[in-house]
Structure 1
C-alpha cells in the first residue's frame, strides 16, 4: 500500500509538472500562432486580393498554425485570430500601407498614423520596355535556348517541395542581359500580383541604408546610432556589424518554438526597440548569428536618421520608385516602423528590378543610387562567417570558392549572390552569366536543380 501511494504521488507530481509546462508553453505559443495567422491572412485578403480559403489552405494549414480560428471583418478591413478562443490578436489593413498587428499600441492610435506615401506617376507601362516599363523586348537573344529555358521554368513551376508536398510556386522569372527572357505565373497570379518577400526584405532594407551612406548620413564603420546603446556595452556595435549579422545580440532565429524572432514578429509593437533592448551574447564582430532583429534595428535607424515626417515616403522616393518598383508595399509594425526583416510585397518583375539594380552596381537610368562601392562591399563575406556565405543582408554562393562542393549551390557560379526568404523566395544575381532569376512561392523547392537548368539554357 505504501509503495502504491509513493508511486501515485510521483505520477501526480509528473502530471502536475506536465500540465504546468503545457500551460506555460501554450501561454507563450498561442499568441504567436494567432499573430502569424492574423497577419498573413489579412495581407492575403486585403493586400493581395485573394480568397480567404486559398490563403488558409496554402499558407496556414501547417501545424500548429492550423489550430487558429479566424474572424474576418471586411467592413473593418481586419482579421482577428485566436486559438481555442484564447490569445486573440487582430491585424488591420490600411490602404497603401498594408497590414499591421495590433500589439502594444491602441488600435485607434495605429489607425491615426499618417503615412504620406507618394502615388507612382501614372503612365502606360505596357508601351515602355522593361525594366522602365512592362513591355517585354523581342526577339529573345540568340544565346538563349528558349525551348530548354521554357522546360526549366516548367520544371520549377511543377516541382514539389523538398518534403514532397505542393510547393505552390507562383512566379518564376528569368532576366538575361537586362531583358526578361522567361516568365510564368500560377493561376490567379500575374505580372502585377504583389507577393511576399519574407526575408528578401532584409536586402531591400540594406539598400535603403546604402542610400543614406551615399548621402553621408550614415557610415558602415561608425557605431550604429541607437540612442539606448549610449554608455552601455552595446555602444560600439557598428552599422556594418548589423548589416553582416555579427552584432553579438542575444537573438535566436527559431520559428519552431517561441523565440526572440517569433516574439518580435508576432507579439511586439516596436520590433526595432525590442531587439535593441536585448543583451549582448557575443563580442560584436566575432560571431555570425543570423537575426531578423538586426534588420529591424536597421529599419529603425533609417527612421531616426531621416525623421518621422518624411520617413514613410523615404524608401519609396529615394530608391524604390526610382527603379520602377511601383507594386512594392512595405508593411509597418504598430509603432509605424517598416518591418525591415520580413514584410515586403512586390510583383516578380519588381523584385527582378531590384536584382537588376545590384547587377548594375547600384546604377539606374544613368543615376548612381547606391555608393560606388556598395555592391562590392555587399558581396564581401563577413569575417566572422567562416563559410563566407553572408555579406550586407545578402547571401553569397561561394565568395571566390573554387571547389563547387563547398558552395551553397554547387551548380551555380561562385560569384552568385542572392536575396533569400522563407519558403523559397529568391532573387538570384549571377554577374558572370548576366542572369537574374526570381522564384516566388510557398514552400522551398530544389533550387540548385532549377538554377542548373536555367544556366544550361544560356549559351554564353
Structure 2
C-alpha cells in the first residue's frame, strides 16, 4: 500500500512539475498575444476592447487573460499573476510588444517615418481612390452578374452551424479592374483596417522584388545576413530566393498549438529576424519546402540592412502603399524596429484589393512598373521542393504537382489561381484568366467552417 502511495505521489509531482513548466512557458505567449491583439485591434482597427474580448480573445485559453488599457496608449495583459505582457501603440508604427527592452526605451526610439499625403480618397476614382463610378448596365434587364453576385457574396457571411461562427467581416470582388461587389459584417465598414496575419508575407516578398528591380538585391546571392557570413554550418550559402520560397533549411518549428519557435518569436522576442537567423540548419538549403514565419522576418531584416534606417521605415509607404492608394496600410514593428514581415500589417479591405490588383497587372500601376517585369511570373511559379506545387515567392498557389492536378489545394478552381493567405481566413485571391481579385477577411477560428472553394466557385458562376 505504501509503495502505491509513493508511486502516486511521484506521478502527482511529475504532473504538477509539467503543469508549472507548461504554464511558465505558455502564459507569456498567451498574455503577449492578448496584449498585442487588443492593442492593434483598438488603435489600428478602431475596435472596442469589449468586441476584441468577445471575439479574438473569447475562446479558451485566451479568455484566461485579463486585459487593461492604460492612459499612455498601451495595453497590459496578465494571467493569474504568473505572467504579464505589455503592448505599446506608437503612431506610424502600430502596436509593439515590450520584449527584452523596457517600455521607456521602446518609447524613446526614433525612426524616420513617412508623411501621409494630404489626399481625400473619396474624391478620386477607384482604384487609386475610393470614389466608385456608377456602372452602366448592358440592358434594361439585370444581367447574370447583377443577379447572382450579391447572393454569392452574402453566402460568405452565413454560419453553417450556430456553434461554428464564420465571422466573415469583409468581401470584395474586383472584376476587370472594377469594384463590382462589396459587403461588410455589422460593426465593420470600408474604413476599418483589418489584420493581415500571414498575408504580410506577400507584402514582404513584394518589397524584396522592388529591391531586386532597383539592383540592390540579387535572388541567387547569399542572403546578406551579417551573422551568417562567418558561420561554418552552411547558413552562409542560403540565398534570398530560398528564403522567399521557404526552402532555407533552418531548424525552425512553425507550430502554434504550444510554445515553439514561432510563438516565442512573435510574442517573446525583441528582434525576430535575429532570433530566427540564429537557428541552425536542419537540412540542406533548397532541398525541402517548410513554411516558416521566421524566413519572412529574416527577409524583413534584409530589407532593413539593405536600405538602412534612414529609408527602411519609409520605403514600404513611399515606394509601394502610397503609389497604390493604400493610405490605410500600417506595417507594425518588433521592439528592435524591424517590420514583423511575417504577420502584422493592418489595412482596409479596399487596400488589400489594390495590392491584389497590382499583381493582376504584373506589377504595373498607373503605367509605372513597380516590380521587375517578370516578377509576378517568377513569384507564381511552384517551388520545386513543394510537393503539391502550392508555393511561390511568399505566395500560395493552386498549381498542383506538375505531373497532375489532382493534388491541387482547390481542385475545382482554376490552376492559375494564386493568393495571399493569413490565419483565421484572411485571403486575397487572384485569378488572372478571369481578370478577378477577391478579398475575404474575417476571424474564422477553424478553417473548416468556411469553404473557400465553394465561395470562389459561386463568384465565378456569377461573373461568367
Same fold (TM over 0.5): yes
Match of 1:63 in 2: 60
SS at match of 1:92: strand
Deviation of 1:405 (Å): 4.0
The answer on whether the counterparts of 2:122 and 2:129 sit within 8 Å (CA) in structure 1 is: yes
* Paired position in structure 2 for 1:77: 73
In the TM superposition, residue 46 of structure 1 has moved relative to its aligned partner by: 1.6
Q: Is the 8 A contact 1:140 1:181 kept in 2?
A: no
- Kept after mapping to 1: 8 A contact 2:198/2:423: yes
- CA drift at 1:119: 2.9
Note closer, same or farther for the CA distance 1:335–1:54 as it changes in structure 2 (3 Å cut). Answer: same
What is the SS of the residue equivalent to 1:318?
helix
Match of 2:451?
Answer: 446
Worse-superposed segment, 246-255 or 403-412:
403-412
Give the Cα separation in 1 of the matches to 2:408 and 2:417: 10
Q: List structure 1 segments (4+ residues) > 6 angstroms apart after TM superposition.
A: none
2 CA distance for matches of 1:389 and 1:65? 32
Shift of 1:402: 8.9
Deviation readout 1:77-125 (Å, 9 max, x if unpaired): 0111111112101001011211000001121121112233223322332
Q: Aligned residue for 1:398?
A: 399
**CA 255–157 in structure 1, closer or farther in 2 if over 3 Å, else same:** same
For the residue of structure 2 that corresponds to 1:170, the secondary structure is strand
Aligned to 1:261: 262
Return the offset for 1:406: 2.4
Kept in 2: contact 1:331–1:343 (CA 8 A)? yes
Residues 136 and 370 of structure 1: CA distance in aligned 2, closer, same or farther (over 3 Å): same
Residues 1:185 and 2:184 are matched in the alignment: yes
**1:118 to 2:114 alignment:** yes
3-state SS of the aligned residue for 1:322? helix
Partner of residue 421, structure 1: 422
**Structure 2 alignment gaps of length 5 or more:** none
Task: Write out per-residue CA displacement over residues 25-84 of structure 1, whole angstroms, 9 at most, x where no aligned residue.
Answer: 1111000000000000011112222110100111111221111111211x2101111111
Q: Say which of 22, 25, 32 aligns to 2:22.
A: 25
Which residue of 2 is the match for residue 165 of structure 1?
A: 164
1:225-264 to 2 correspondences below 5 Å: 225-232=224-231, 233-264=234-265
Residue pair 1:48, 1:194 contacting (<8 A) in 2 also:
yes
Alpha-carbon offset, residue 189 of structure 1:
1.4
Q: Report if the CA contact (8 A) 2:389-2:401 is conserved.
A: no
The TM-score with structure 1 as length reference comes to 0.96
The number of residues matched between the two structures is: 454
* SS of aligned partner of 1:241: helix
Q: 2:462 aligns with which of 452, 457, 460?
A: 457
Contact 2:400/2:407 (CA < 8 Å) preserved in 1?
Answer: no
Pair 223,141 (structure 1): closer, same or farther in 2 beyond 3 Å: farther
What's the CA shift string for 1:185-237, capped at 9, x where partnerless? Answer: 11221112100010000000000001100001101111100010013220000
